[in-house]
Chains A and B, each alone.
Chain A
Amino acid sequence: MLDVGRHPNIELLAYSEVEKVEGEAGNFKVTIRRKARYVDEDKCTGCGACAEKCPTVVSDAFNEGLGERRAIYSYFAQGIPSTHTIDADHCRQLNGKKCGICAKTCQADAINFDQEDRILELDVAGIIIAAGYDVFDPSLIPEYRYREIANVVTAIEFERLLSASGPTGGHMDRPSDRAVEAEIAGLEKKAKKSQKAISKLEEKFNEPSAQFYKKYQAGEYKDDEDRKKWADKYTAHLAVTEPLEELKKQAEGFTVAKRLAFIQCVGSRDFRFYPFCSGYCCMHSIKEAIISHEHEPETTSSIFGMDIRAVGKGFEEYKIRGGNNSNITYVRSRVAEITEGPDNNPVVIYEDTRERKVKRQEFDMVVLATACAPIKGIAELAKTLGVELDKYNFIKTSSLSPVDSTTPGIFVCGCAESPMDVPESVAQASSAAERAAETSFQTDLEKEKAVA
C-alpha cells in the first residue's frame, strides 16, 4: 500500500469517482470527480489532533459499525493517503450549526470548509476495473436473525474483533457484553453527576442521604421545600445507581467468546440468492477459528457447512492443521435456524446430514460466512464505462479472455470479475496490467507511425 502511495508513476486519486467516459481503446476521455475532504491533503500531517477534539461521534464503517469515529477522521490508521477527511453528512459546521473546533485545533491550518468538489479530465489509453465486491447482507435470511441476536456477526465483523487495532483490541468480547459495558459507562457518567448534587445537600444537612430518605418516606419534613428537593434528587440518583449495580454484577460474569460456530454459504450456493460458491469463505472461517484459538487456547470452533472447499495451494493442509491443532470440528450439516438461549448465547439448530438428525447446540458467538456480492454501484459504473455485466452483476468476461471486458481497452481484475481470494486477485491484477500495457504500447506505436 505504501509503495502505491510513493510510486512516481502512480497518481493516487482517493475519495474520487469516475463520472464520465468517452472514446475508445487507445483514446479514452475520462471525467473524475474529486470529492471535497474539507481538509487540504498537502497541508494535513495526519496528527489526529482535530479528531480528538471533534464533538461529533459517528459509527465507524471501517470497523463495520463495531466502533466509533469522529466527523473528522482518518479512514484507518495506516490509510494512504494519510490525510484526514471531514464527513460532510455529519459535521456540525457543514450542516449549518456552530462548531469549527477542528479548524481551531489544527496547527497546520489544513481545514477548509469552503473546499468544493473538483472535476478532473484525463486522457488514457486503457482502463482497469478493480472495484471489488460487497459483503452479502445476511439479514435477507431472516431465520439467521442477524442484527436481532447481538452475538450473531458476519465474518468481516469478526475480522475487526480479531484485529489488535480493532474496536476490542483483538479480544473476543461479545457484542452483547460490549453493549452492557457501554450502558454501564453511560450510567456511570450520570451517576457521577447525580452523586455530586446529593453530596452538596448531604454536606448542608450533615446527614447521609439514605438515612434522611428513610425519615422522609416515613412522613417527616412534610412542608420542608429544601428537603423535598433533596428527596427528589436522591430518587433520581437511585434510578441511575440501582440499574447500574445490577449491570455491574452482570458484567462480572463476562468472559471472551470461547465456543464459536461458523456458518458457511450464507447467501452462496443458495438458489434464493447466489447459486455460485464464493470460493474464499471456507478458508476464512478456518483462518478465523485458528486465530481465535491462538488468542485464547481454550477456544473450540464448529464449522457448519455442506462440505469444506479447500481448493488452492496449501489450503487442504491448512484445513487439516486447523482440525488437528486448533480445536476445529467440521460439521457436515445444513443450518435451519439460529435462536437465542440464556445469557445471550446463540443456539444453532441444524440437520446433521451424516446422521440425518436434527440437532441444536449453544455457542458464545456465531459467525456468518457471507457471500461475495457485486458492489452496489456496479450497474451505474458499468453504464458509465459501457461494459456488460454477467447474470449475477459481475463484469462480464469470457473463459478464454478472463480479464477482458466486453469493451476493447477496458479490463477487469479481482472480485469485480467474480468471487476470488487474494492470491487469485493478485494473479488477475497482473494479467489485467499486462493487457492494459499492450493497449498503452499500441498507442505508442501509433504515435510513432503518425510521426513517420
Chain B
Amino acid sequence: MSKDILVIGGGIAGMQSSLDLADMGIKVHLVEKLPSIGGKMAQLDKTFPTNDCAI
C-alpha cells in the first residue's frame, strides 16, 4: 500500500496543499490539465487586499 497523495488541479489551492504535504515528507503527485500550473491566480495582475504581485 502506498502512502502517496494525489492532488488534482495546480491552482493556488492545489499548489498549497501539495507543498504542505511534501514538507511533511509525503510524496505528492500533482495533476494539472493545462500545460503549466498556476491556475487563475497566474492570470491576475495583483491580488487584494495587499496588491502583491500574483506570481
Contact = CB atoms under 8 A, between A and B. Distances in A.
Given A156-B43, A429-B17, A432-B17, A32 B37 contact: no
Interface string B1-38: 11111111111111111111111111111111111111
Which of A74, A286, A433 has the most C-beta atoms of chain B within 10 angstroms of its own C-beta?
Answer: A433
Interface of B: 1-51, 55
A426 B16 contact: yes
A82 to B, nearest CB: 8
8 contacts: A4-B15, A12-B30, A80-B36, A130-B13, A287-B47, A318-B49, A425-B13, A437-B21
A205 interface: no
* Interface footprint category on A: 35 or more
Contacts of A443: 1-3
A99 interface: no
A290 B51 contact: yes
Contacts of A433: 16-18, 20-21, 24
A416 B9 contact: yes
Interface in A330-363: none
A163 interface: yes
Main secondary structure on A side of the interface with B: mixed
Contact of B13 (A8, A127, A132): A132
Ranked 8 nearest A-B pairs via Cβ: A414-B13, A79-B36, A130-B14, A429-B16, A433-B20, A9-B22, A130-B9, A123-B2
Given A4-B15, A7-B18, A429-B13, 10 more contacts: A11-B28, A14-B35, A16-B32, A18-B6, A28-B6, A79-B35, A79-B38, A125-B5, A286-B48, A287-B46
Contact of A430 (B5, B17, B32, B48): B17
Contacts of A3: 19
B40 A132 contact: yes
Interface string A17-46: 110000000111010100001000000000
Contacts of B11: 130, 132, 414-415, 425
A145 B47 CA distance: 28
Contact of A163 (B23, B25, B30, B45): B45
B14 A429 contact: yes
A14 B37 contact: yes
B17 to A, nearest CB: 4
Interface stretch (A240-248, A270-278, A308-316): A308-316
Contact of A130 (B17, B45, B47, B50): B17
B30 to A, nearest CB: 5
B43 to A, nearest CB: 6
A30 B36 contact: no
Contacts of A30: 6
B48 A284 contact: yes
Contact of B30 (A13, A15, A79, A422): A13
A405 B28 CA distance: 19
A302 B13 CA distance: 32
A208 B46 CA distance: 56
A16 B18 contact: no
Contact of A76 (B17, B24, B28, B38): B38
Contact of B21 (A12, A76, A416, A436): A436
Given A10-B28, A13-B32, A287-B51, A132 B5 contact: no
A198 interface: no
B16 A425 contact: yes
B8 A18 contact: yes
A373 B27 CA distance: 31
A446 B19 contact: no
B47 A422 contact: yes
A447 to B, nearest CB: 6
B35 A17 contact: no
B7 A128 contact: yes
Interface string A69-87: 0000111101111010100
Contacts of A415: 11, 13
Contacts of B38: 1, 76, 78-80
Contact of A124 (B6, B24, B34, B49): B6
Nearest to A441: B3
Contact of B6 (A128, A156, A160): A128
Given A129-B8, A130-B8, A313-B49, A17 B31 contact: yes
A422 B3 CA distance: 28
Contact of B33 (A7, A17, A162, A444): A17
Nearest to B20: A433
